[in-house]
Amino acid sequence: MSSSEDLKKSTRFEIGKLDEHPRERVGHLPTPLEQMPQLASHLSAGNLFIKRDDCTGVAFGGNKVRQLEFHFGLAKAKGADSVLITGAIQSNYVRITAAIAAKLGMQCHVQLEHRVPGAGRLYQTNGNVLLDRIFGAHISYYEEGEDESGADQKLRNIADKLRQQGRSPYIVHLAPGHMPVSALGYVDAAREIVIQCQEASIDLDEIIVASGSGETHAGLLYGLRALNHRTRVTGICVRRTAEHQIARIIRKCSDLCKLTGQEIEIPDSDIHLHDGFLAPGYGLLNEAAGEALKLGARLEGLVLDPTYTAKSFAGFIDRAQQAGREKSLLFVHTGGTPAIFAYQTELDAMLRSGTGA
């Protein structure tokens, strides 16, 4: 059988101009694709699999490693010597940006936004925030957590000051209106999944993934369709409602056609979103996510975080129970491991109650 790298180079697995984009290959790829027999037995479900993108290697891993390979490739191609990014206080994106910047000898400026109301001391200082400091990032704060354009503008102001100092900054933008360079990482991941499934004779019916910024969700959907694979992709909303999220996914898929030069028709009916596990809001733990976190840990040895993967895993469990024994489902574990330490107070309370004791 051909190796994954041989298959990837085959014309059958080419996706437009994807491989022409500059890229800093820092991740540990491909990541494992594993079966979850204990969970499947517990749920009386079919074949359940997990794509271990929590194992991408850099600074506790996660989906942002794939995404940032393309951003840092572009930054280096532009001659940048510093990188700027904005995100939530416990942002995995920010943490991995700081780590890769350190690895590549670049200065890093991170802006942390207050998105989670009532967050305590551990949330403000532990987990990803502690790692940002350890990696030597220059940290500033933005008080308004739902003002993406304002957050980006403040980054541009910082970039202007850096230029005055003779530096060459590169901004990883947050707000809509910029090409989804990050999503290229998951166009490539879609190809990786297709190859792994072919090698293992796995026929997937559905892929479930967290849908926040939309880069991972849109990249997977576009990549699969570009390879003529019709596997359903379901995004579990972790930041905003399905009603508000769908426009982001549509726009990003359209922009990916421009980035790759391969026009793909993705109708609105092909964009599946579920926001039943979002409440009470971004970054706030709920009962279903808490139960999913415990099930993942106690049946499959997984570490899930309250913001993204516990909620999306709750959605995965729901989909698996609906699908029945004849279906094969894949959960994309997007990482977020360090953030769990920022939620010690909430997790302690959860573990003291009910079956978690």
Average pLDDT over residues 7-35: 91
pTM above 0.75, yes or no: yes
91 is catalytic: yes
- Mean pLDDT in the chain? 95
Domains identified in the chain and CATH numbers: 4-61+180-356 (3.40.50.1100), 65-172 (3.40.50.1100)
Percent of the chain with pLDDT over 70: 96
Catalytic residue among 91, 182, 213, 312: 91
**Quick check: 8 pLDDT over 80?**
no
d(CA 229, CA 200): 16
d(CA 209, CA 273): 10
d(CA 124, CA 112): 10
Helix 184-200 and helix 215-226, axial crossing angle in degrees, nearest 10: 50
For 28-72, the pLDDT digits (tens) are 999 999 999 999 999 999 999 999 999 999 999 999 999 999 999
> Which burial class, exposed, middle or buried, applies to 322 when counting CB atoms under 10 A from its CB (0-12, 13-18, 19+)?
exposed
For residue 357, what pLDDT band results from cuts at 50, 70 and 90? very low
pLDDT of the residue at 221 = 98
Percent of the chain with pLDDT over 90: 91
For residue 144, what pLDDT band results from cuts at 50, 70 and 90? confident
What is the enclosing helix (H) or strand (E) of 169? strand 169-172
For 162-220, the pLDDT digits (tens) are 999 999 999 999 988 899 999 999 999 999 999 999 999 999 999 999 999 999 999 99
> Which burial class, exposed, middle or buried, applies to 110 when counting CB atoms under 10 A from its CB (0-12, 13-18, 19+)?
buried
**Quick check: 355 pLDDT over 60?**
no
pLDDT of the residue at 158 = 97
CB 180 within 8 A of CB 259: yes
For residue 7, what pLDDT band results from cuts at 50, 70 and 90? low
